[in-house]
Structure 1
Amino acid sequence: MTTDPLALYVHWPFCISKCPYCDFNSHVRDVVDQGLWRDALLADLAHEAALTPDRRLGSIFFGGGTPSLMPPVTVAAIITAADRHWGLDSDCEITLEANPSSVEASRFADLATAGVNRVSLGLQALEDQALSFLGRAHSVAEGLAALDTAQSAFDRVSFDLIYARPGQSLAAWTQELSRALAFGTGHLSLYQLTIEPGTRFATLAARGDLTIPDADSAADLFEATRAITHAAGIPAYEISNHARPGQESRHNLTYWRYRDYVGIGPGAHGRRGGEATFRRKKPENWLSAVGRNAHGMETSDALSPTTQAVEALLMGLRLDEGVDLHRIATLGGGAMPLDEARVALLARQGLLVRDAGRLTVTPAGMPVLEAILREIVTA
């Protein structure tokens, strides 16, 4: 039995509005019965706890949707129940994603009292025109006021920015990123804008009304991002995430290092004990399932050794630390799902390093990570 800490993901699916770039499981509802949802989440949590005895929690992550819309009393109830069912590590990282509106920022003190010790703010841009383009409801001034409030309320603060926006120059992004680094947070999530199927941006792109930077321009922006953050002492540790040493997201490292986690709430994924779990996605369907079954599970499937090894490679090679190939082989039942000839070729090209039983993607390889994975990982 593994002794690694378990991670808990809690999905809150509701938002004030749907952003045009977002393909997450988020929904707009006029009315949410808060008491009913609190009870349902606690029931879903209890079901997972019964299936994972003798484990402690190393992290909890409230994601969404917009979990800062959750009443602090609900957040407190979930943390208390998680501690009762599993027990929390003494340094348990408890993160909540938040929109930087003044209404939500007013809850930060209560959320900290509830037990949240890390917040991830969706600033997304430091230009009002860009925020409008991204469909965000807050202004730059409101976002920075929320950031200031968050830094007063929580031990650890991260925020997101989206770059490679239409027409964004390297000089403009460099200036925006330099401003972001000056705020002194220990963690930044910096994502290139991508056009996801089913989003409003995908509709606009299909009509020719939206064009993002080409691959070469995007690569220049990516490389500049890494250089600037590294020089500022907040280097990349994952393809899109940057942190001061010791400030990395422990919860997200659980995913990328292919460790066990449980997920509750609509559409939440989990992976524990060699099984992949998936909750019903639509909020109303999940709620009905919990009412019938005391959990919102839709599927729970055993993962074959090959699948586990492949998934561990796909996740782990996102990290600058790379993967332990001995562990990959162990997960795969002795088999290594790698095209060794392609690995050797890409290593000679300076895109991969294979050394002392580890495989890592080099800084030169990170901009083309998806292409590398398609080349080397065999299923």
Structure 2
Amino acid sequence: MPAISIKGIHMPESPIRKLVPYAEAAKKRGTKVYHLNIGQPDIKTPKIAMDAVKNADIDVLEYSRSEGSETYREKIAAYYKKNKVNVTANDIMVTTGGSEALLFALGTIADPEDEIIIPEPFYANYNGFATSANIKVVPVVSKFEDNFALPAIEEFEKLITDKTKAILICNPGNPTGYLYSKEEIQKLAAIVKKHDLFLIADEVYREFVYDGIEHYSILQEEGMDDYAIIIDSVSKRYSMCGARIGCLVSKNKAVMTTALKFAQARLSPPTLAQIACEAALETPQSYFDEVNAEYVDRRNTVIEALEKIEGVRVAKPKGAFYCIVELPVKNADHFAQWLLESYDLEGETVMVAPAAGFYSTPNIGLNQVRIAYVLKKENLLKSVHILKEALKVYPN
């Protein structure tokens, strides 16, 4: 039998999706499953985006340009300018989701065996993207006790070698919900300039920031034109996860010229989805105000309920719609599977994402889960109640 690639063997499973077969089996048994495991908002997609697709007058569904349609990129640039990020359409490349934007960025800046430093816990698929690009993730641990704030710059300095190409952050963070401050971004900007590295910021949750704090983009910082690469997406902003449209943004011309070659190799991003996303940019601010208020309410609801459970600790997020929760269990992977295979409360159970998969360092986060508070309040309260009762009878 022909052999599978070593890269394929080393490709990590998604901690978010690997439990899906158990959830599906539970549903077939008639158990209702509350999904706290995945960042799929239940907020309605803006009607203006859906109508744009319905009303599109198209005879032939053609390729778009490899970098995305010019009109869409012009409108994205206008969106950024409203958010104090001064870029042009030429600084923007439309991609098939934020995932492809990150793959293009890694392919552009790193060769096999090069290294990327990432504060952990981090979005689990960063491990997968790094494996695909044959580069090494070098983790720097951010601590639960510090609410997952930026680790000391000295910790980054210790990890920089001649193989280091970039520091990658998610801001606000998935899975932590941590929002880096302006001062923290400035510290990162200083270190990448000092060591001639790229700073990649996954800013897909930029719209979801709470408690009166403003998001500060890496491209708002002076002197970062040559160093900054932004990864962005419409998935969460407009509740359009299935559109699979993102973008790569950089004022570094060499980065954009090189990334375009990767974009040409995959031809173009999807045309109909770009039409929907271009229309979504006309979404009024009131939509985001209402969505943010809803998420603040959900965050406060779920954290207050979790903190009442004996032995449970929660890191309070400042953005996105996730939180890391420490449970009084030895192995959250086993607990999450047990919830789906062996437990229900009056015919209902919950699905969570074990947090160990969001770390690169072995044996960290084994008793942690990520909870996505993307459900309505009443369902969040039901879910936390199920967790509380399950912990009372969990055998391990």
* Both structures adopt the same fold (TM-score exceeding 0.5): no
In the superposition, the TM-score normalised over structure 1's length comes to 0.29
In the superposition, the TM-score normalised over structure 2's length comes to 0.28
Structure of greater relative contact order (alpha carbons < 8 Å, 6+ residues apart): 2
Structure with the bigger percentage of strand: 1
